Structure 1
Amino acid sequence: MSVEDDLRLYLAEQRAIIDAFPVEPLRAVAEMLFQTYDAGGTVFAMANGGNAGTLDHAYCDFKHHPFVSDDKTRRISPSVKRLRFVNLCSSPAELTGLVNDLGSDDMYAAALEPFVTDQDLVMAYSGSGNSPNVIRALEVAVAAGARTFAMTKGDGGRCRALADVCLVVPGSSAFPGQTGPNDNNFHFEDAMLSVNHMLVGLLKQRVAAAQQR
């Protein structure tokens, strides 16, 4: 295939995924997000590799975007409740310390366990659905009675059984770099950013509607 053919393949695969994208899990996690916000709970989120970088983007959006005016020229009243959002991937010092002391499989569980409650939402992103550090943290969240959401691909792995809501990105890929064990990985990572944007936008809409009552 030519470079142009490969590029068209990627875009065609992406369109097919969007057309088949499961909306019901998105609706369900949006409801859990609203419940967490209304209860004054905290959103905890975790991922590995490049997806941890995407969560840094999500942290910024969730923490700030629902609480500014549409034209971004002013913040809404400080009296409006904000969303508490903790990116468990955010501190290299904390993560390397936990890995050094406890091992990589327990790094997110150790960061989460002392703080998570039944008022919180734990969001887990794992392409395989089987990342040990994500699975152990989800187990901690379930034990605490927290709301749980996972985003995966393929067959959903263990995340599918653990999470209250599991969004499995559909499709398969023949594009270079995301075949074999990495099947659909680029599309999964693209979709992760879109899911976070949809949730941020819905929360912004809910916050704005509450201000008009």
Structure 2
Amino acid sequence: MSVEDLVGLYLAERIAICEQFPVASVAALAEMLFDTYEAGGTVYAMANGGNSGTLDHAYCDFKHHPFVSEDKSRPLPRSVKRLSFVNLCGSPAELTGLVNDLGPDEMYVASLEPVVTRDDLVMAYSGSGNSPNVVRALEVAGQAGARTFAMTKGDGGRCRALADVCIVVPGSSRFPGQTGSNNNNFHFEDAMLSLNHILVGLLKQRVAERLARLPSGVASS
């Protein structure tokens, strides 16, 4: 195939995924996010490899974007509740220390288990759905009564049964670099970033609705 054909193939596959995307599951996840925000809970998120970098992007978006004015000129007043978001992949020092001391399978559990509560939302991203460190964290989150979400591909792996809501990115790919054991991996990572933006936009709308309900003097303080 020519370069142009391959580019077209990638985009056609992505369009097909968007057309099949489980919108109802995204809406269910958004409701869990809203419930966590309203309860004053914390969102804990985890992934491996390049996806952990996407979670750093998500951390920035969730922490700040819903809580600035529409023209981005100022933060919303302090009276507007903020969302607590923890990127469990965020500190190389912490992760390498935990891997060194406890092993890779326990790296997320060690950070999550002492603090997670039923008011929280635990979000796990694993292409296979079987990454041991992610699976173990979902198990611990479920035992604590926390809301749980997973995003996977293929058959969803073990994460599919462990998460309250699981989004399995549909389809299969013929594009170079995401065939065989990496099947659909680029599309999975694209969908992960799109999901982040959908959720952040929905949360921004929810925060704006909360702001509109505040007394005018409080909202402008």
**TM-score (normalizing by structure 2):** 0.96
Once the two structures are superposed, residues 104-130 of structure 1 have per-residue CA deviations (whole angstroms, 9 ceiling, x without a partner) of 011001110011000000000000000
- The structural deviation recorded for 1:70 is 1.0
- The structural deviation recorded for 1:212 is 1.1
Gaps of 5+ in 1: none
What is the distance in 2 between the residues matched to 1:37 and 1:68?
16
| Residue 147 (structure 2) aligns with | 147
| Residue 159 (structure 1) aligns with | 159
What is the distance in 1 between the residues matched to 2:29 and 2:192?
13
Query: Alignment partner of 1:171: what SS?
Result: coil
What is the distance in 2 between the residues matched to 1:212 and 1:120?
25
| Residue 31 (structure 2) aligns with | 31
Q: Which runs of 4+ in 1 moved over 2 A?
A: none
| Residue 98 (structure 2) aligns with | 98
What is the distance in 1 between the residues matched to 2:106 and 2:4?
44
| Residue 126 (structure 1) aligns with | 126
The count of residues paired between Structure 1 and Structure 2 equals 213
| Residue 183 (structure 2) aligns with | 183
What is the distance in 1 between the residues matched to 2:169 and 2:71?
32
What is the distance in 2 between the residues matched to 1:190 and 1:165?
19
- The structural deviation recorded for 1:192 is 0.2
| Residue 52 (structure 1) aligns with | 52
Cα RMSD, aligned residues only = 0.5
What is the distance in 2 between the residues matched to 1:101 and 1:75?
40
| Residue 212 (structure 2) aligns with | 212
Once the two structures are superposed, residues 159-202 of structure 1 have per-residue CA deviations (whole angstroms, 9 ceiling, x without a partner) of 00000000011010000000011000000000000001000000
What is the distance in 1 between the residues matched to 2:133 and 2:24?
27
Query: Alignment partner of 1:155: what SS?
Result: coil
Query: Alignment partner of 2:75: what SS?
Result: coil
| Residue 218 (structure 2) aligns with | none
Once the two structures are superposed, residues 43-93 of structure 1 have per-residue CA deviations (whole angstroms, 9 ceiling, x without a partner) of 000000000000000000000000001111111101111000000000001
What is the distance in 2 between the residues matched to 1:197 and 1:96?
29
Gaps of 5+ in 2: 214-221
- The structural deviation recorded for 1:31 is 0.3
Query: Alignment partner of 2:43: what SS?
Result: strand
Q: Is the 8 A contact 2:160 2:166 kept in 1?
A: yes
**TM-score (normalizing by structure 1):** 0.99
What is the distance in 2 between the residues matched to 1:92 and 1:39?
30
| Residue 116 (structure 2) aligns with | 116
